[in-house]
Amino acid sequence: MSKVFVTRNWHPNAVKLLSEYFSVKVWDQPAIPTSEQIINSAQECFAIITEFDDKITSDIIKSIPSLKVISNRAVGYENIDLTAAKSNNIKIGNTPGILVETCADFTMGLMLDLARNITFSNRNVLDGKWISFDQTPYLGTDVYQKRLAIVGLGQIATSVARRAVNGFNMNVSYWSRTRKTQIESELNLNYVDDINELVQNCDYLSIHCALTEDTYRIIDKEQFDLMQDVKLINTSRGPTINQNELINAINNGNINSAALDVTDPEPPNHKSEIVKHPKILITPHLGSGSQETFNKMAIMAAKNIINVYQNKNMISEVVIE
């Protein structure tokens, strides 16, 4: 019977589904498996289900000659050496689409949190600093009818824009490597072809682009210096912004506050300035983390493997150039 290795013990429903076709081995330790542990655990395996922080290197791929499928329970796949996978005829699966609305909900939650100082005020309650009815230390701003700038206009960003326009009557502008005229027309979005122009004309800035060589630190000192009291939300990947410059921009007043669901590195040192800063909210990569979506992504990752085993197309296969 063919074997499958699952790198976390988080997905009982997916394991149950896989067990109908395979002998399934699940990593059951609290710590993330090391490269050596993945190699040892996945020997003779047809496939593995990985998480986005499993670094699947060329050494791992070459050390598991039986491997035919890597099914990443994530949309991104930068954790996998695609060149090594292609040269060893390994198919790569991912799980897009399912998490779109969940991530959009979470993005709006972060925006509202920054706007109304929800986490900031709660910290003061926990610290015993709320001693009388005095709203003045916590006065925030509205979201309704404010200007939102979006970097990248994929599925998640489009759903954020739809919520912003239909729910909060926001004025939404966006930058994207590919202009989306149909979405512009549907939601009355304003396309801006220059990042610098985009960031200097907004109240809120939400980052949604994929991490590539072109988008690495797409928001850096030059862009921060152009902003004026902006509230920044990043639910894409940590390296799309320069975190050191973000701190400087907050201290200088260019950025009002920031909510980061992704960081660089991830997780950050819990004693670092970015974690301790009173104007920065960091969440542990929770954008897709609803119970329903978490389970659906794992099931999709399992079905990607089953489909290859049955000589069918994956639900979502990463095309390696």
Spatial contact of 119 and 140, defined as CB atoms under 8 Å apart:
no
Is 292 an annotated catalytic residue? no
Burial-class residue 261 by CB neighbours within 10 Å (0-12, 13-18, 19+): buried
* Active-site choice (163, 208, 237, 245): 237
Helix ranges restricted to H, the chain: 12-18, 35-41, 58-62, 82-87, 100-116, 118-126, 155-168, 181-187, 195-199, 221-226, 243-252, 273-276, 291-309
Is 285 an annotated catalytic residue? yes
Is 116 an annotated catalytic residue? no
* Active-site choice (285, 292, 317, 321): 285
Give Cα 128 distance to the centre of its chain. Answer: 34
When computed from its CA atoms, the radius of gyration of the chain, rounded to whole angstroms, is 21
Spatial contact of 317 and 77, defined as CB atoms under 8 Å apart:
no
Cα–Cα distance for residue pair 44/39, rounded to 1 Å: 10
* Active-site choice (78, 266, 277, 317): 266
- The first and second tokens of residue 18, run together, are 């896989």
DSSP string, 93-135: E---STTHHHHHHHHHHHHHHHHHTHHHHHHHHHTT---SS--
Q: Are strands 69-72 and 91-93 parallel, antiparallel or unpaired?
A: parallel
Cα–Cα distance for residue pair 119/261, rounded to 1 Å: 14
Give Cα 85 distance to the centre of its chain. Answer: 23
User: What are the catalytic residues?
Assistant: 237, 266, 285
